[in-house]
Every structure is written in C-alpha cells, then in structure tokens.
Amino acid sequence: MGLANEKVTPGRTTLLDGVNVLLECIGEQPVNTLDLTQIQDARIAERTLLEFHKEGQVKGWSWNTEHCYPFSKNSSGEIEIPTNVVEFSLDPYLYANRYILRGQRLYDTTNRSYVMETVVEKIDADVIWLLSWEETPEAYNRWVTIRSARVFVARVLGDEAAYKFTAQDEKDAQMALERMEQRQEQPNLLTGGRGRLPFRTYEPASGLMTRRLSAGIRL
C-alpha cells in the first residue's frame, strides 16, 4: 500500500472488489477469492451483488439493448430465444401480433404451433440482454455495488444509520450512470435517439419551400 500504488493504473471494479466493499461495510475482512464457500457473509454479499446487477439491467440501457436482432430457426423449425433475453418485442405492424414468446420459444398463434412456416427463416425483434459483470460499464457496476451495499448492511446488521450513510453515495453513482447513458444514447424528442429515426426530423425551411412551390411562387 502507500506509495507503491501511486503509479499503478487503476482497473475496472471486479466482482471480487464489489464483494469486498460489501464486507467492509459490515466490518468484515476482505477475501482474496470468491471460491471461499465456507465464508457465509462473502456468499451472501456475492448473491446480493448479482441480484441487483440483474435487476438493474431489466429496464434496458443503450449498452444492453439491440433493435431488429435476427433469430433463426433451429433444425426442428422452431425459434428458440436465449435465456439471457429479459425483454423480447416484435414490430406489431410487421408481424401483426402473430408471434408471441412462450417460455424460451416463439409461438405462432395463427397455426397454433411452435414450428414456424417454411417461408419464415428468421424473426427480427427488439431485445434487452442480461450481460455479465465484466460486460457491463464501470459506471453501472459502481452503482450496483453501492446499491447492493445499502441493502446488504440492512439485511445482515439491520443498521439504519449505515443504510442512510450510503444513500447519498448511491444517488451520486446513479447520476454518473445516467449522465454516461445520455452521452452515449443522445436521445432527443424528434428522433428518439441516435440510430433510430422513426420519422424525418422537422425542417422548417423545407416546409416553407413546399408551401411556396404548391402556391406557384417561384424563388
């Protein structure tokens, strides 16, 4: 410790780092590995982290959401959806609400079958994925760690003072995450976000040009 870390480049927060943050919040010593299954507090800390890591992704972020993702048929003619898909939606205008997700397979409500018609090779859907700890952004993992620590302290110690102490830390981490999301997604009222253009952006000059030409006014 001390000066030895002065020139060390910091890396991403690992799941082990997160577990140790939770342990320190209840006054326990950090662990060197997550394979120490005999340490009950470490196991509970890890489960708490993964619980909120999953919960936070369900709402959908720019980094775990994909649009028009293709799903192809398997050898049995069925379309299986991976278990790490937590939201699956189809374009109602394209598919007329014909296909719905039942369990992990797509169901054809017209033919009342999981087997897709021969002409159907693939289905495009908007999906939200569950990503691993290493795949999610650092800002998200930081927020999850602080949020998990608040709940972990309350569950293990029932200490309301410690619970309130990290409330502001959680709020700050959430604000940092949302700022990162806004920079990456670049949402706006007219287009719905970068890369998604449901309609052409309003151009007042073009509208004025159209009105003048329709009225027979030459520029």
Neighbours of 218 (CB within 10 A): 5
Q: Which of 128, 124, 92, 132 is nearest to 109 (CA)?
A: 92
Q: Among 112-121, 182-191, 198-207, which stretch is predicted with the lowest mean pLDDT?
A: 198-207
Alpha helix segments (H runs only) across the chain: 15-25, 40-57, 92-95, 138-156, 160-165, 167-185, 204-214
Give the SS3 label for residue 122: strand
Q: Is 80 exposed, middle or buried (0-12, 13-18, 19+ CB in 10 A)?
A: middle
Angle between helices 40-57 and 15-25 (to 10 degrees): 120
Say how many residues make up the chain: 219
Residue 91: pLDDT over 70: yes
pLDDT higher than threshold 70 for residue 94: yes
- Tell whether pTM > 0.85: no
Asked whether 85 and 105 are in contact (CB, 8 A), the reply is: no
Sort 144 into a burial class: Cβ within 10 Å, 0-12 / 13-18 / 19+.
buried
Q: Where are the domains of the chain?
A: 12-59+134-185, 65-129
Q: Name the DSSP letter for residue 89.
A: E
Q: Band of the pLDDT at 207, cuts 50, 70, 90?
A: very low
How far, in Å, CA of 175 to CA of 39, rounded?
A: 34
Please report where in the chains the tokens 């952006």 appear, as a residue. 201
Classified as helix, coil or strand, 218 is coil
pLDDT at res. 95: 87
- Checking if the pLDDT of 71 tops 70, the result is yes
Beta strand segments in the chain, E: 65-72, 85-89, 99-102, 105-108, 122-129
Predicted confidence at residue 140, as pLDDT, reads 95
What 3-state DSSP class applies to 25? Answer: helix
